[in-house]
Structure 1
Amino acid sequence: MAMAPQHRSHLTRIAAVGFTLAGVVSLSACAGGGGEVNSEYGFVTAEQDPESTITVWVDAAREPIATAFQEEFPDVPISIETYDGNAGGSGSFQTKMALFDQSGEGWPDVVFSTQTNDASWAAKETNGVQAFAAPLNQGYFDTDFLDGFTDGALDPITVDGTVYGLRNDLAPVSLWYNETLLTEFGYDIPTTWEEYEALGEKLAAEHPGYILGSVGDSFVGTYVYYWGAQAPIFQLDGDTFSSNFEDEHSVAMTTMLDNMVANGTLITDSVFSATFVENYSDKIVAIPGPAWYAGAIFQNPDNVNADPGEFGVADPLYWEGEDQVTGNVGGGVWYASSHSTNLDAVKTFLEYVTASETAAALATGLPAYDSAASEWLAAQAESGFFVGDFEGAISTAAASIWSGWGFPNFSPETAYAEVVVPALSEGTPIADVTGDWQQKYLNEAQVNGYTVAQ
């Protein structure tokens, strides 16, 4: 099990993560209602029992790595439970923890969430109950281990200098392309959003039925397209939330998506639906998507299940003449419970699932830990499954995430699912519902206690 941090791999860095280290933090900040702060870890710890079983919550995709840990560490008592992983911004993670807060017991020791915005609530005391998420950089984890994460990976889960979770993977958006079809049709790989839209017009006219993507998933519409377009529709400045659909970037992306849906090169089926697999697996000319599309879409026997050498990945799309940035689709997070009675076992588990060779081998996307990321990228490149400069394109994307997206304690996906997806299914352009979409965001922000910028 290779867990020694590898300081600074060939991966281009995203942004520096500032850590504020302290041996002891204030009781009001971390204790949340009683007990003494453990000066070793920086939060109030429960009475420890090295024999107690740790309960780990994972989604189905993370169950294999949890099972691998169970097999490799038979002496560590562990119970693995699956749940929806908070997918689609379901809020199940927060809802369930609130119930345990009320009863004062029952918290799992480790929770995996597909969302990167949970730290905004998991790091806060609730009704006198200590925050669920344990501070990780106040002494619980060694600085050397935390420094092994790709710079910027822990930013979304860092609150006032304190790290509250460990990123499982990075999910930068790149452009996946079908080398076979591009060659057959005589098309070049688009490099800008403008070229992408122009390719859609040409494809619709010359090869109707072939596609350049889908807008049927809430994570695609929000993170892939609008985040990647630098559209300021989901921003947070301190405690002030804002959403601007009239910005030129927002308008341009809305117009592009409506045009491509109208000509049929963007479809409204979910990329995980049976209809997508049946009707479009062999008709994808190109598709913008996160790094985890590698395993979840193209190498997945239940999805596209592409042939080796059929697909490649290129640098992210960007607006011509503007910053070459991209969006990010999740990149799940592991949280340690501050209430755990076996923190040593929790630490061993978290180091394994983020930084071990097994974690790299089982990853379907780009690991957030540098050494694991290097191993995964090298394995993908050496396999020859994808054509082109796989390692270079993914690394470029990982270093190009647009910093303007916000991380409040609610997900941008729910409003898209409730407003945009039904409109698209009825043939209504996105431009016709951006007002309702925006209002949904503003309402959610207000309900969650944010100041709403008008």
Structure 2
Amino acid sequence: MPSRSILPGRSRLAAAGLAVTALTLAACGSGSSSGSASGGGGSYGFKQAKQSAGSGITVWIDADRSAAAAAYKAANPSDKVTVVTYDGSANGSGSFKTKMALYDRSGSGWPDVVFSSQNNDASWASQGNGGKQPYAAVLNQGLVPQGTISSFTQGSLDPCTVGGKVYCLRNDLAQVVLWYDKSLMTKFGYTVPTTWEEFQQLGAKVAKEHPGYIVGDVGDTWTPEIYMWGSQCQANQVTGARSVTVNTATPECQRAAALIDAGVANKSLSTTSVFTPEFVKQFSGKVLAMPGPAWFAGAIFNNPSSLNLPKGRLGVAPPPAWGSSAAVTGDVGGGTWFVSSHSKDLALASKFAQFVTTADAYQVEKAPGYPAYGPAAQKWLAKQESSGYYATDLSALTAAGKAIWSGWGSPAFSQEAVWAKVMSPIVTSGGSVASNLDKWGQAIKDQAKITGYDVK
């Protein structure tokens, strides 16, 4: 078994309220940064509060990031850092945004650093509402060294970037790959598909020759982030801070919808959520393949409470391509770290955010997910491979991390919530996704307009 499970960046452990822990009471210098943070000027690209180096910072994290805070404390025992545990905006709760709006109204109280499990928070945290200063500090104008920024996996900071400015650092990636049971593939005499067309053909063969086995699942709300995103469906293209393009009638959307419909019809694609006892009972030992994010390995396959696939059977392949086109893929989760533009100790806040996203002490040794920071990712992969759990090497994760399609944006509203409301009932009842693409598209447009987007 691997030394760490690969779990979703979006936390499934919601804290019941705010639990506060003082990591240390000692105050000291908080390290250096590459710009001046001593006054109220804007040397980092935003208006700064009067700086008080060594005054300490408050950090908000979800329960799953407690190891990150502990690793920082161990490496920097004299830094004054107070940790507050909250739900991390898990499952789209919006608690991060709601609480920052309250602090905006009172004019004080903002935490210096915040972890969020949602990748769309930069869409609002970078914008000032009602003339208020945006919560998120600009990071790529001196607050975080350019060398650090550029070392994140290509495209990984796209959800953090608005108008060319980077407002957060990614904790981990959730790139979609093709997981498969190598033992079953060999036993049945099947070849791992390299295209979606081959994937669909495999599903048809499995349905006919080995009924009851599956090649994927479409029973969760992130289904569009696997199949639609990987098909370059133009359902979610953010083109500006407040503009989005939605066109679900494109051939790219139609082909993904047809693939889902075919798999549901022949039952090679499950319509049951992977996080239900029903899924585990029905499909343990019967998952031949499954397109899914990096964290599926630990959360689904190598999990005693889920499929519990034995050592030496789980293989991973790059995401399938459509026809002869280069493969692209989706990104189902991953987390983000924000530094507050209101912080009175920007140097320490920046130091903390950089540590938890780049330092081996957390990202390699403790983090459960695939690090977004490139140098840490390679070391993390080597550690996972050394466990001996996997039937193949994990190079497909690296390839997929660089193939996330940038045309699927991170707007202020939740695409998963729209799919859950409009399309999930259709999928689970065996209805046609292809016949309801217009319904899905209209629902996205309606939600975008409600959220204040100009829809094209």
TM-score (norm 2): 0.86
Kindly state the Cα deviation for residue 51 of structure 1 after the two structures are TM-superposed: 4.9
| Contact map agreement 1:294 1:365 (CA 8 A) in 2 | no
| Contact map agreement 1:177 1:312 (CA 8 A) in 2 | yes
Match in the other structure for 1:98: 101
Summarize the Cα distance change of 1:387–1:245 in structure 2 as closer, same or farther, 3 Å threshold.
same
1:403-423 Cα shifts (integer Å, max 9, x gaps): 221232222111011111223
C-alpha distance in 2 between matches for 1:313 and 1:104? 49
SS of residue in 1 equivalent to 2:269: coil
SS of residue in 1 equivalent to 2:83: strand
C-alpha distance in 1 between matches for 2:432 and 2:352? 47
Match in the other structure for 2:370: 366
1:375 counterpart (347, 360, 379): 379
Larger deviation, residues 408-417 vs 79-88: 79-88
Match in the other structure for 2:239: 237
| Contact map agreement 2:168 2:338 (CA 8 A) in 1 | yes
The one-letter amino acid of 1:232's match is: Q
The one-letter amino acid of 2:231's match is: A
1:437 counterpart (436, 440, 444): 440
Counterpart check, 1:154 vs 2:157: yes
2:299 counterpart (296, 301, 313): 296
SS of residue in 2 equivalent to 1:312: strand
Counterpart check, 1:80 vs 2:83: yes
Kindly state the Cα deviation for residue 432 of structure 1 after the two structures are TM-superposed: 4.3
> 5+ unaligned residues in a row in structure 2: which ranges?
1-33
SS of residue in 2 equivalent to 1:44: coil
Kindly state the Cα deviation for residue 127 of structure 1 after the two structures are TM-superposed: 1.6
C-alpha distance in 2 between matches for 1:225 and 1:417? 15
Counterpart check, 1:176 vs 2:179: yes
2:346 counterpart (295, 319, 343): 343
The one-letter amino acid of 1:385's match is: Y
C-alpha distance in 2 between matches for 1:80 and 1:214? 38
2:138 counterpart (132, 135, 150): 135
Counterpart check, 1:333 vs 2:339: no
1:296-326 Cα shifts (integer Å, max 9, x gaps): 3333333333222110100111211223222
2:282 counterpart (279, 285, 293): 279
Counterpart check, 1:164 vs 2:167: yes
The one-letter amino acid of 2:380's match is: W
| Contact map agreement 2:60 2:85 (CA 8 A) in 1 | yes
The one-letter amino acid of 2:375's match is: S
Counterpart check, 1:185 vs 2:185: no
SS of residue in 1 equivalent to 2:255: helix
C-alpha distance in 2 between matches for 1:63 and 1:249? 41
Kindly state the Cα deviation for residue 69 of structure 1 after the two structures are TM-superposed: 2.3
Larger deviation, residues 74-83 vs 347-356: 74-83
| Contact map agreement 1:419 1:433 (CA 8 A) in 2 | no
Within 5 Å, give how 1:21-60 maps onto structure 2. 36-39=40-43, 41-60=44-63
Counterpart check, 1:112 vs 2:115: yes
Match in the other structure for 1:226: 228
Summarize the Cα distance change of 1:142–1:264 in structure 2 as closer, same or farther, 3 Å threshold.
same
Summarize the Cα distance change of 1:276–1:85 in structure 2 as closer, same or farther, 3 Å threshold.
farther
The one-letter amino acid of 1:234's match is: N
1:73-126 Cα shifts (integer Å, max 9, x gaps): 332333333333233434332222212212222222211122222212111112
1:198-246 Cα shifts (integer Å, max 9, x gaps): 1111111222221112112212x12111000111111122343222222
SS of residue in 2 equivalent to 1:373: helix
| Contact map agreement 2:248 2:440 (CA 8 A) in 1 | no
C-alpha distance in 2 between matches for 1:317 and 1:449? 35
The one-letter amino acid of 1:207's match is: H
| Contact map agreement 1:56 1:108 (CA 8 A) in 2 | yes
The one-letter amino acid of 1:226's match is: M
Counterpart check, 1:323 vs 2:315: no
Summarize the Cα distance change of 1:353–1:190 in structure 2 as closer, same or farther, 3 Å threshold.
same
| Contact map agreement 1:115 1:331 (CA 8 A) in 2 | yes
C-alpha distance in 1 between matches for 2:296 and 2:246? 28
1:407 counterpart (405, 410, 417): 410
1:119-148 Cα shifts (integer Å, max 9, x gaps): 121111122221100111222122222232
SS of residue in 1 equivalent to 2:84: strand
1:127-184 Cα shifts (integer Å, max 9, x gaps): 2221100111222122222232223222221222221111111222110010111111
The one-letter amino acid of 2:157's match is: L
C-alpha distance in 1 between matches for 2:152 and 2:367? 15
Summarize the Cα distance change of 1:310–1:89 in structure 2 as closer, same or farther, 3 Å threshold.
same
SS of residue in 2 equivalent to 1:152: coil
C-alpha distance in 2 between matches for 1:56 and 1:296? 27
The one-letter amino acid of 2:101's match is: A
Kindly state the Cα deviation for residue 441 of structure 1 after the two structures are TM-superposed: 0.7
| Contact map agreement 2:151 2:375 (CA 8 A) in 1 | yes
Match in the other structure for 2:29: none
1:385 counterpart (374, 382, 389): 389
Summarize the Cα distance change of 1:243–1:43 in structure 2 as closer, same or farther, 3 Å threshold.
closer
Counterpart check, 1:424 vs 2:427: yes
SS of residue in 1 equivalent to 2:365: helix
Summarize the Cα distance change of 1:50–1:269 in structure 2 as closer, same or farther, 3 Å threshold.
farther
C-alpha distance in 1 between matches for 2:224 and 2:88? 19
SS of residue in 2 equivalent to 1:313: strand
Match in the other structure for 2:451: 448
